[in-house]
Structure 1
Amino acid sequence: MAKTDVPIVTELKDAELIHVPLKANAVVLHGTFALIDATGHGIASSTAVAGTQKCLGVWDASYDNTGGADADRLGLVRRKKAFLFKNLETDAVAQADLGATVYVADNQTIAKTHNTNARPIAGTFLGFDTQYTDHVWVEIA
């Protein structure tokens, strides 16, 4: 497609909630990280975390694709918000890390480091929670 030299109408939509096709037999849990694999399918919340995965947001509900093939079921992922997650004790963020990129340690926990590229990016560390002091706020864009 060539560049335009005239004004155009560019379609748009809100991207706070997006549909993500689930991997065959995947069961995802509400409130956990919504991770996809290299094929672009949502993987089970029980799948081991790997650096090749991508975090799109947080599952907006629990979804079950048991017995289904890839993309037989869609799940809604919420993004473009700050979410409250556990802070991994053995690789925890500190106040000095405010604004830093943080990584997925498990389906509900973030870590300060990528662990030699073994963890996908979760988002940006926005600070500690005042009520749940072992939890942190993470923006997922």
Structure 2
Amino acid sequence: MTAMSQARSIIETEGHRSNPPMKGATTIFQGALVVMDAGVAIPGKTGLNLIAVGVSEQTVVNSGADGAKTVPVKRTTLKLFNHGADAVTAADIGKDCYIVDDQTVAKTSGTNTRSVAGKVMSVEADGVFVRIP
């Protein structure tokens, strides 16, 4: 592509919302941590090479094939449950935490079995605020 020679329309997105294609035969509940796995959105789970993309803004049931439906996702700082056996603490603020399931995070990668959820922003008695990248 050559350099511009005249003004053009600006096409942008705010970057906080997206609608990734969902894995077939999958339900993602409103409020669930959503991750990408091989190009399709699934609920957060323990696993490697998953990419956290945000929180589901509504419940979506994809009873069809991969990509037959999309899920509205928002990137945000989200309160998730703290894994009791591998709990995130105040000493972890600013560090990565790891996905256990679609509503739970842990302090460690579980001996390299968990993917990064995001950065710990705050820890409270009933959960962890995680900034989804």
Q: TM-score, normalised by structure 2?
A: 0.88
**Is 2:111 aligned against 1:101?**
no
- Return closer, same or farther for 1:115/1:6 CA change in 2, 3 Å cut-off: farther
Matches within 5 A, 1:1-141: 1=1, 4=3, 11-38=11-38, 40-43=39-42, 45=43, 48-66=45-63, 68-79=64-75, 81-129=76-124, 133-141=125-133
CA contact (8 A) 1:31 1:59 kept: yes
Q: Could you say what secondary structure the match of 2:91 adopts?
A: helix
Q: How far is the alpha carbon of 1:116 from its aligned partner?
A: 2.5
Cα displacement (A) at 1:49: 2.2
8 Å CA contact 1:26, 1:42 repeated in 2: no
Gaps of 5+ in 2: none
Letter in 2 for 1:53: L
- Structure 1 outlier segments of 4+, above 6 Å: 5-8
Q: What is the Cα deviation at residue 52 of structure 1?
A: 2.1
The one-letter amino acid paired with 2:40 is H
Aligned-residue identity in percent: 30
- Secondary structure at 1:90's aligned position in 2? helix
Gaps of 5+ in 1: none
